[in-house]
Amino acid sequence: MAEAFRKFNLPFESLADVEKFEQTPIEEWVPYKNVYDAFCAVVEQYGDKPSLIALPPGDPMGEGKVISYRDLLAKVNQTANLFLSAGLQKGETVTYLIPLCPQAYFTMLGAETVGTVNAVNPLLEPEHILGIAEAANATILIATGQALSPELWAKAAYVIDRMPNLKAVYVLGGGAECDGKKIFPLDDMIAKQDASAINGPRNEQLDDVVGYYHTGGTTGVPKLAPHTNRMQLSQVASSGFGLGYSSKDCLLAGLPMFHISGSIVVGLVPILNGVTLVIVSPQGFRDPLVVGSYWRLVEKYGVTVLGGVPTMLSALLNIPVGDTDISSLRAGLTGGSAAPVEVLKAISKQAGVPMLEGYGMTEVTCFTTMQPQDGEVRFGSVGLRFPYVDVKSAHIDETGKITRFSDPDEIGEIIMKGICVMPGYVQTAYNQKAFTTDGWLRSGDLGRIDKDGYVWLTGRAKDVIIRGGHNIDPSIVEEALHEHPAVELAAAVGRPDSYAGEIPVAYVQLKPGAKATPDELKDFALERIPERAANPADLTIIDAMPLTGVGKIFKPALRHDAAVKVFDADLAPFRVNGVDISVSVDNHPVHGSVAEITVTGGDKEVLGQQIADKLGSYTLRHEVIWQN
């Protein structure tokens, strides 16, 4: 039988291997024009192999439900036919609000085959979910029923009441909600459809839009990034090459499907490489039972690639491997937010495999860089660029024009161009700032690229706060605070956090003569912030907001102040027996920002190790200066 794809498990040691890989046209690596045809080819080759194994909720070590590749295709066909029977047209969207489960995969693959899929974070507030569904032109909604989650059903009901144009609503675990007219039980309706083929028009061309993925929350509707067949198929090749995926691999699927990490990185890409995915729980890796069972799951299913966002990796460090056999692991993968170097080193040692940190965005389908699995892993870097995408560091003026590309190891803004890059946001008003004048996608991240091609992120040109891999727009917090009559100026920034990477904190300048307390302002904002993850962990009232020469709030000064406070508090227990420790944070030409720890007194070796242990879990680098 012919291979569905040419083998991607080639050496990836250096940039030369990337360049060698892309000498072959991508059409030879992935000879299909759409995801569905590629999937059918994989099913033909691996039909009886498990594609999904869904573990029983609440019992991760229980026996899972196995769905073969052939059975998955049948479910995808049935689900696509269900959407067609409801009247889904090209250009219309299926929005879904269901947890991690097999039906989420049926929905993703079925919807993008005959329409456009739109996975939405169910933790968003109802008005944001509604705004996303409206912007996506949703005509079908997949919801979670009352019996499974009263909270999620309430959010779905909010959307249903305000979208009369919905043609149908299908409910996971549906019961009393289903009226048999517009609202139906999802599983029952899927089961009634033809499983042998798709009976209607499909998205067959490379540039057909197949998905809308929302970015981090904003004050209005989160931006929607369209994905095309071409974009997703390009990732099958590039991520397949970067990770060396093959049908011998098995992954634990615990990342949310509303994010590209779950839908693409640990979803579509491994599926189209014949990998087996073990769905760990409806809550994914947020389920403490799953994290506690992680190493035993690796042993039971022969998991080959350890994957998760940095916060999950930090949690795994607290779970001893013991005598569990995890020798099946061949690599580790992380991304979504900056990973502390000490965490990466520790998890690499614990698991016995190299941890490969990657970098990407919703707007570029998923990864565009990754540490080379067969080469030198440079902790703190996000690795080398992937095939078929250019990644540069550049200097860009206020009009969006590139004035020059950065020299090696010189910090600039990271920009990308290639077949994995989106054509532009659904809300076109955002596009001018998203691209340079000659079409490079602007990441908003600052970074440098060394002489060997390794990319190092050093900060952010835009002010998004990344909490445990979740993007938070600071304007959500700022606009809520600005509604308070005593507030003159408000700014939200990320404060270093040893678990989540960073968490939002706020700074406020009061109007002349006005009075308010930090607790009063926090409570006021809490009632108005539409995203719980954005609630500020701390609020500081300051006399005067730091400003730039043109009157804009100078956020680096606030970020530095927030970092000083948290480091200062962490180091307080060491200020004994004549030891004095001071903390300052400033810009650094290579690392973006660095905390400078000045120490007087104490045993240099012992105290130095204690400081390293205490601060090593933060992504912000630190340097110790001894005054003895």
Residue boundaries of the structural domains of the chain: 15-442, 465-553, 558-626
The answer on pLDDT for 268 being more than 80 is: yes
Residue range 465-553 forms a domain whose CATH class is alpha beta
In 47-193, which residue ranges form alpha helices assigned H by DSSP?
A: 69-85, 102-114, 126-135, 150-162, 186-191
Report, as an integer, the average pLDDT of 236-240: 90
Q: According to the 3-state scheme, what is the secondary structure of 274-300?
A: CCEEEECCCCHHHCHHHHHCHHHHHHH
Average pLDDT, the chain: 92
- Burial-class residue 528 by CB neighbours within 10 Å (0-12, 13-18, 19+): middle
pLDDT at 8: 73
Q: Residue 436: helix, strand or coil by DSSP? A: coil
**Tens digit of pLDDT for each residue in 497-547?**
988 899 999 999 999 899 999 999 999 999 999 888 899 999 999 999 998
Both tokens of residue 202? 């499909």
In this prediction, what percent of the chain has a pLDDT beyond 70?
A: 96
The 10 Å Cβ neighbour count of residue 537 is 16
The type of residue at 173 is G
Q: Residues 271, 240: contact at Cβ < 8 Å?
A: no
Q: According to the 3-state scheme, what is the secondary structure of 310-354?
A: HHHHHHHCCCCCCCCCCCCCCEEEECCCCCCHHHHHHHHHHHCCC
pLDDT at 308: 86
The answer on pLDDT for 60 being more than 50 is: yes
Rounded Cα distance, 560 and 419, in Å? 37
Q: Is the pTM of this model over 0.95?
A: no
In the block, residue with structure tokens 């360049």? 19
Both tokens of residue 519? 């607790």
Q: Residues 340, 310: contact at Cβ < 8 Å?
A: yes
Q: Residues 114, 86: contact at Cβ < 8 Å?
A: no
pLDDT at 563: 96
**Tens digit of pLDDT for each residue in 85-124?**
999 998 899 999 999 999 999 999 999 999 999 999 888 8
Report, as an integer, the average pLDDT of 335-350: 83
558-626 has which fold?
GMP Synthetase; Chain A, domain 3 (3.30.300)
The better pLDDT of the pair 437, 587 is held by 437
pLDDT at 314: 80
CA 597 to chain centre: 32
Both tokens of residue 274? 């014949």
Tell me whether the CATH fold assigned to 465-553 matches the one assigned to 558-626: yes
In 426-490, which residue ranges form alpha helices assigned H by DSSP?
A: 431-434, 475-482
C-alpha count within 13 angstroms, C-beta hemisphere, residue 449: 21
pLDDT at 323: 97
Radius of gyration of the chain (CA): 25
Q: Residues 475, 218: contact at Cβ < 8 Å?
A: yes
The answer on pLDDT for 1 being more than 50 is: no
- Which of the listed CATH numbers 3.40.50.300, 3.40.50.1100, 3.40.50.2000, 3.40.50.12780 matches domain 15-442? 3.40.50.12780
Report, as an integer, the average pLDDT of 458-471: 78
